Structure 1
Amino acid sequence: MKLSVHSLALLALGCFSPASFAVDVPGSHDLERVPRLPDAQIVDYRQTSDLERVYPMGSIRRISGQLRFDGQVEARGNVTSVTYELPPEHSATQAFTAAREALQKQGAELLFWCQARDCGESSLWANEVFGNSKLYGADNGQAYLLLRLAPPADNTLIALYGITRGNRKAYLHVEQFESSAALGELLPTSATLLRQLKDTGVLDLPRLAGEPDDTWLRLLSRALNLDTGLRVSIAGPQAETWRQALIDQGVRAARMEAARGDVAGLHLELLR
């Protein structure tokens, strides 16, 4: 049976999915430090100079008409944001994890990480924090992460927000903030340290190469005591000193063991 030219053309078109014709919004491009998943499409791209920006470091909610969260980073600087719509074969979780892992390999430090309902209301993240209604979806289908890049780029923050909408479309929003002034010391939350340890199996803190620091002792002891069923090994130049200091802070001795290893700073590893 011979097909007409018209039929052949229709057959050829049918071999391509709609995603094959997807194009990025004009003038957009990927951020240098965050790789794009295959076939993801840029559906929103914005650049703003000299903007006052607030990044939450806690679950967000609205009380008496005002946004509330436990902590925040607030600074003025330049913002570039990229929103990807993901192809059906990739989930928001996959894109979020790939971006996080790529940034951590570059030495970025996690400041705040929440998932699902622990983040608060997706509508507030979408409309109030990022100003992008495309990011509104189910509360249990979201994840947010705030990272600080390693020196000498440590006045730059990266925010990641992954979401699956009710129509099952998945998005990853990536925002790069370059502060116009030094950000100073920024500490992660204890819950973020615990989430990182449980999700990745390790917690690398290269800056903690010396004697135990009181602030970090409090953060780590709180993190470990948020889940008293976890056991960890501790490695580093001062591993045994840190272990004893954590015991003094109320972490049970049986949950920690000092490990050998030539590592910089402090290295905690989850014992399965």
Structure 2
Amino acid sequence: MDILGRRAIVLSFLLTSLAAMAASGQTIFQSSEVVSEQRDESRHYILPLGRIKLDRSLGRDMPATYKRMDGEFSSTVWELTGGENIQEARDQVQSVLESAQYELLFSCFSRDCGESFAWANAKFNEPMLYGNDRTQSLWVVKDRGARRYHVYYLVERPNRRRYFYRETLFVPELKLDAQVIASMLEEQGYLILGELVIKEGMPDFSLVVEKVTRHAGDVKPELLVIHRHGEAQALAPVAEVLQAQLKAKGLDVPVLDAANLAPRPDAPGRVWVEWVAPDWEP
């Protein structure tokens, strides 16, 4: 490999590393102090996708829309110690989260988020985040191509102290082997192979092809299904593309593009591929 090639790899690594660090409090805000941290290797988690309000059936405050998941949890609270006001702080966070690295799932500002008291105590369990409802901002984003979800909350308290909060849930990929594949196909009729990253208007099937190729010798795949939801519905049908890539690896596997006909509560994103039983129906 020539010098330019090595430099390109190093630059790509550095950019990826910086992007991974970008949304921490101390890289968004140069003047900030960590005041609270939590870690949990296994947590049943509620990802907020709507404003918080009283759920009368449960008798407690809950996001109006949410998604339940299990994974590795971490959270951090920073106090902002620089000279930026709350609007400037909000703009800084917004500019970072507009990076192509992230997919925005939900955001709200001011009183549209619900009560700050409810976010601080019922959802985040961090009372110091209870501030003025009008100063609060909340973003929920997902790393593109990975099941890593982040919730960011910014607020100013009546004493003018400003706090920035991040909680992250990482859902590890299912470790596949012949026994796991056979068991899941028998028990639920499908297994999710992963989310597809869209590059220049076309899904990247490389990781899915690698997974199917690795395990096809032990369990023959009889049908794969592509799911497309939200903005991914605008993509042209791509079943033939995946089928051709598999054929290039010596695998003749039927592929069906189901579009948005079969939503999943455990879907990894807006476009993904499933390995399904041959009698699968939407």
Q: In the alignment, does 2:31 pair up with 1:39? A: yes
1:97-108 aligned within 5 A = 97-108=91-102
* 2: CA distance, partners of 1:147 / 1:175: 11
Deviates more, 1:84-93 or 1:74-83: 84-93
CA positional deviation for 1:215: 5.3
1:96–1:161 Cα contact (<8 Å) kept? no
1:78 maps to which residue? 72
Deviates more, 1:88-97 or 1:111-120: 88-97
Task: Name the SS for the 1:117 alignment partner.
Answer: helix
The code of the aligned residue for 1:69 comes to P
Q: TM-score, normalised by structure 1?
A: 0.54
Seen in structure 2, the aligned counterparts of structure 1 residues 96 and 79 have a Cα distance that, compared at 3 Å, is farther
* 2: CA distance, partners of 1:47 / 1:93: 30
CA positional deviation for 1:216: 3.6
Which has the larger strand fraction?
A: 2
Q: In the alignment, does 2:159 pair up with 1:170? A: no
Seen in structure 2, the aligned counterparts of structure 1 residues 137 and 147 have a Cα distance that, compared at 3 Å, is same
Deviations 1:9-45 (A, max 9, x none): xxxxxxxxxxxxxxxxxxxxxx833224122111111
Q: 2:152 aligns with which of 154, 157, 160?
A: 160
Q: 1:62 aligns with which of 48, 54, 57?
A: 54
Seen in structure 2, the aligned counterparts of structure 1 residues 214 and 163 have a Cα distance that, compared at 3 Å, is same
The code of the aligned residue for 1:78 comes to E
1:92–1:172 Cα contact (<8 Å) kept? no
* 1: CA distance, partners of 2:29 / 2:111: 25
Q: What fraction of aligned residue pairs are identical, expressed as a percent?
A: 22
1:96–1:160 Cα contact (<8 Å) kept? no
What RMSD over aligned residues (CA atoms) do the two structures have, in Å? 3.3
Q: 1:117 aligns with which of 100, 111, 114?
A: 111
The code of the aligned residue for 2:35 comes to V
Task: Name the SS for the 1:168 alignment partner.
Answer: coil
CA positional deviation for 1:62: 1.4
Seen in structure 2, the aligned counterparts of structure 1 residues 217 and 76 have a Cα distance that, compared at 3 Å, is closer
* 2: CA distance, partners of 1:111 / 1:37: 23
* 1: CA distance, partners of 2:30 / 2:168: 21
CA positional deviation for 1:99: 3.2
* 2: CA distance, partners of 1:136 / 1:37: 20
Seen in structure 2, the aligned counterparts of structure 1 residues 61 and 88 have a Cα distance that, compared at 3 Å, is same
Q: How many residue pairs are counted as aligned between the two chains?
A: 170
Deviations 1:173-203 (A, max 9, x none): 01121113579999xxxxxxxxxxxxxxxxx
Q: Any stretches of 5+ residues in structure 1 without a counterpart? A: 1-30, 187-204, 221-235, 238-272
Seen in structure 2, the aligned counterparts of structure 1 residues 176 and 217 have a Cα distance that, compared at 3 Å, is closer
2:35–2:79 Cα contact (<8 Å) kept? yes
Q: 2:45 aligns with which of 31, 53, 56?
A: 53
Q: 2:140 aligns with which of 137, 146, 162?
A: 146
2:125 maps to which residue? 131
1:148–1:158 Cα contact (<8 Å) kept? yes
* 1: CA distance, partners of 2:144 / 2:90: 19
The code of the aligned residue for 1:168 comes to R
* 2: CA distance, partners of 1:184 / 1:126: 36
* 1: CA distance, partners of 2:28 / 2:231: 37
* 2: CA distance, partners of 1:127 / 1:111: 22
Seen in structure 2, the aligned counterparts of structure 1 residues 47 and 100 have a Cα distance that, compared at 3 Å, is farther
* 2: CA distance, partners of 1:185 / 1:98: 32
Task: Name the SS for the 1:145 alignment partner.
Answer: strand
The code of the aligned residue for 2:54 comes to R
The code of the aligned residue for 1:173 comes to Y
